Amino acid sequence: MKIDRRSFLSLGIGAAAGTALSPLPWKITDDLSIWTQMWPWTPVPQDGEVSTVSSVCTLCPGGCGISVRKAGERAVKIEGLAGHPVNDGGICILGLSGLQMLYGPTRVRGPLKRVGERGAGQWQAITWEKAIEELAGRLGELRSKGQPQRLAWLCGYDRGTFPALIQRFLTAYGSANFLRPPSVADTYQTTLKLMQGVDALPGFDLESADYVVSFGAGLLDGWGAPVRMFRAHSAWREAGVPLVQVEPRLSNTAAKADRWLPVAPGTEAALALGIAHLLIKEGKVRGEFVNGYTFGYESWSDAQGNLHKGFKQLVLEGYAPEAVAAITGIDTAAIVEVAQRFAAAKRPLALCGRGQGVTPGSLGEVMAVHALNALAGNINRPGGVWALPAPDYIQWDEVRPDDVAAKGLQQGRIDGAGSESYPFARQLTNRLPAVLSGGGDGIEVLLVSEANPLYSLNDTQTVRKAVQKIPLVVSFSSFMDETAAFADLLLPNHVYLERYEDVPAPAGMPRPLIGLAKPVVPPQLDTRHSGDVLLALAKRMGGSLAEALAWESYETCLKETLGEQWDPLVQSGYLFDEGFKPAPWYGAFETPSGKFEFSPTALSAKSGGEGNPVPAYTPAAIEGDAGNFPLLLIPVEQMRLTSGYAGTPPFLMKTVPDTILQGKELLVEINPKSAAALGLSEGSRAMLATPHGEIAVRVHLFEGLLPGVVAMSRGLGHTAYDSYLADKGSNLHALIAPVEDPASGFDTAWGIRAKLSKV
């Protein structure tokens, strides 16, 4: 087989992303470094004493340990940290590219103030002192108007000291509006709260599972902690543990799985319930757990005499294999076989969170998949789903809000999360554009840290219009991303290799782990740690704010917060509780029934006690006008392209194959049969339209995609960053709008109805 250079790089991504044992990552680095010699800004390593610093990569929620090699004061190479519980020496290609984040041209070099039209790119450099004074002045005005609730702070993550400090600032100021981009972790946390009654993070004991069914989770495409997933997959292969991948497209994960079930988009939950049906019907559920520790499995009557349908009846009535085959498009025999193997396994594990898990998805889907684990008794057991208590080392004195702050806090959250209408959600950032566009007293000051909502929230046009209405937008971004480019004030943070940051509980880890990112090199530009800016802001504003945030510096605050954990963390870079065991069944469930609830009491209570909670299990079909939009558009998520705060660095852009991007033109995938019906062939130019927008594309024929589906890569179509990333392809988020899950309010919009027409 002839492999050209581009194909070689493409193959390298899949094989190299999870392990340092393979020589491919280093070959890629070498190959690309030759290519990058043409760049005017190529970092040239200095001579100097060679040293290494261990730290943590924060470019995704994976939290890998890294070892950064330095020559003198210059970082010259990033490797995975050997022995680290997440990645044990492995690293992904994004992690490898971290030096481009540090030394690349996209960084904001110092504080800037907008002087032209919003988004026109006209800036004036200002001093840090002036910038903080201006922001403190605007925040002071808002408080003097008695409207502190009109301040919102959107941060890319919510675990660790920095986001806790933001929330403390907001509480002392008088706003409940701490916002964060959503993900499937939200849906999992809500599921654990409803079905198990615990405030916990989902942990997956992947390494001990002996049969794995992934309902759309891109386990080898960037889901969870990506390098850990690659390591787990290697271990599964060695131990002969089968992986079944359920998704409409032959992704990298599906290609490497032992079995691929190409399911109709949006019907994954039906398949999970179909497998549950067979387990129940054939008496293969784990009786010890189901009979002794669960509620709502059988139908029951409440105190008012209302009859509630139990999970068993729901599944037996509605999800027989033939019915599920008709819904999902999966062959009945395949459903039966997977169910039999799931039942026969000792430690079967079912998990979900489509693609990389950046979409929260429907509560029903996560509950259906979690119920499958419960039928197998695989809750808080080896190889199963563990409820991991949230880290509790941040123990500060309570904030004492003054009168203005107390009144502001009474107004609640602007996105409605936690309110009577949305009691199960902590974050509903997906509702913001609609809320802000609705008029009224919206947000007056928006602060944004480590997030890029103008690119990454669904329905970007509406998001942009909504943000346009906000009188003051401040970005703390280290990079000139879309949101930074649209801001009024830019207060750039150090990048992760220049600052301290605690990183607790990497995505999906079943045991407690805290990492410490450290300054590997001194700040290269006139940037400041956003934690220090926040403390300076509080000091300047005085009163209860200064009192609540009285630390001298962010480093002092972090050191004090971590207490006796600080020294070991500085020394080794992480603390891991290897002996942690999740709560045993008899003490694990804090629901009203004291048991695992297949039919959560809280959902029943939300419907006034009359309704039945089981409709929450309804699959999240992709609705819409099938007449005008006969196809389904779904995203493709892969490790080549990032779609969150960190833009794809040049190293990765070079690995994007010409089946996705040709020059600046985006290609979308479609099954040859569907293409032929539309008169399209390989490379045809076409218009891709959804009810929310239309873009010009070219067509790539792909047999590994279900007929009737179009697949488009997430992560392209930037208008900001640098010339390596901007103006290439189109942004999927401009074509998709949020779809609210009726049970939780989370955004379920994984796909949308679409039309592809030849031009």
Rule CB under 6 A: which residues touch ligand SF4?
Answer: 57, 59-60, 62-64, 87, 91-92, 94-95, 226-227
- Residue 13 or 64: the one with the smaller Cβ distance to ligand SF4 is 64
Q: What is the largest CA-CA distance in the chain?
A: 80
Of 587, 536, 655, 573, the residue nearest 32 (C-alpha) = 655
Residue 544 vs residues 168, 397, 398, 537, 547: alpha-carbon distances, Å: 11, 13, 12, 12, 5
Smallest distance, Å, CB 246 to ligand SF4? 23
Smallest distance, Å, CB 226 to ligand SF4? 4
Of 95, 98, 105, the residue nearest 39 (C-alpha) = 105
- Residue 91 or 142: the one with the smaller Cβ distance to ligand SF4 is 91
Alpha-carbon gap, residue 536 to 546, rounded angstroms: 9
- Residue 60 or 631: the one with the smaller Cβ distance to ligand SF4 is 60
**Closest CB to ligand SF4 belongs to which residue?**
95
Smallest distance, Å, CB 327 to ligand SF4? 35
Alpha-carbon gap, residue 377 to 384, rounded angstroms: 8
Please, which residues bridge with residue 449 across strands? 155
Q: What is the 3-state secondary structure (H, E, C) of 316-374?
A: HHHCCHHHHHHHHCCCHHHHHHHHHHHHHCCCEEEEEEEECCCCCCCHHHHHHHHHHHH
Alpha-carbon gap, residue 536 to 641, rounded angstroms: 36
Smallest distance, Å, CB 630 to ligand SF4? 38
- Residue 226 or 329: the one with the smaller Cβ distance to ligand SF4 is 226
Alpha-carbon gap, residue 281 to 320, rounded angstroms: 9
Residue 434 vs residues 119, 414, 465: alpha-carbon distances, Å: 22, 11, 10
Eight-class DSSP state of 718: B
Q: Is 582 in contact with 386 (CB distance < 8 Å)? A: yes
Cα–Cα–Cα angle for 742, 371, 362, nearest 5°? 25
Smallest distance, Å, CB 506 to ligand SF4? 8
Smallest distance, Å, CB 16 to ligand SF4? 11
- Residue 94 or 446: the one with the smaller Cβ distance to ligand SF4 is 94
- Residue 86 or 338: the one with the smaller Cβ distance to ligand SF4 is 86
Burial bucket for residue 375 (CB in 10 Å: 0-12, 13-18, 19+): buried
- Residue 101 or 314: the one with the smaller Cβ distance to ligand SF4 is 101
Smallest distance, Å, CB 98 to ligand SF4? 7
Radius of gyration of the chain (CA): 25
Smallest distance, Å, CB 57 to ligand SF4? 3
Cα–Cα–Cα angle for 204, 205, 206, nearest 5°? 90
Smallest distance, Å, CB 181 to ligand SF4? 16
Q: Is 628 left (phi over 0), alpha (psi -120 to 50) or beta?
A: alpha
- DSSP element (H, E) containing 291: helix 287-293
Alpha-carbon gap, residue 569 to 124, rounded angstroms: 40
Smallest distance, Å, CB 59 to ligand SF4? 4
Concatenated DSSP letters of 39-65: -TT---PPPS-EEEEEEE--SSTT--E
Can you read off the two tokens belonging to residue 17? Answer: 């992303």
- Residue 91 or 661: the one with the smaller Cβ distance to ligand SF4 is 91
Q: Is 663 left (phi over 0), alpha (psi -120 to 50) or beta?
A: left
Eight-class DSSP state of 650: H
Burial bucket for residue 621 (CB in 10 Å: 0-12, 13-18, 19+): middle
Smallest distance, Å, CB 460 to ligand SF4? 24
- Residue 358 or 447: the one with the smaller Cβ distance to ligand SF4 is 358
Smallest distance, Å, CB 95 to ligand SF4? 2
- Residue 507 or 631: the one with the smaller Cβ distance to ligand SF4 is 507
Q: Is 66 in contact with 79 (CB distance < 8 Å)? A: yes
Smallest distance, Å, CB 365 to ligand SF4? 25
Residue recorded with tokens 């959600």: 425
- Residue 60 or 666: the one with the smaller Cβ distance to ligand SF4 is 60
Smallest distance, Å, CB 139 to ligand SF4? 33
Smallest distance, Å, CB 92 to ligand SF4? 3
Can you read off the two tokens belonging to residue 548? Answer: 């609540």
- Residue 79 or 597: the one with the smaller Cβ distance to ligand SF4 is 79
Of 668, 708, 704, the residue nearest 685 (C-alpha) = 668
Please, which residues bridge with residue 754 across strands? 631
- Residue 215 or 230: the one with the smaller Cβ distance to ligand SF4 is 230
- Residue 59 or 314: the one with the smaller Cβ distance to ligand SF4 is 59
- Residue 132 or 220: the one with the smaller Cβ distance to ligand SF4 is 220
Please, which residues bridge with residue 662 across strands? 665
Alpha helices in 429-512 (DSSP H): 432-437, 453-456, 460-468, 482-485
Alpha-carbon gap, residue 269 to 265, rounded angstroms: 10
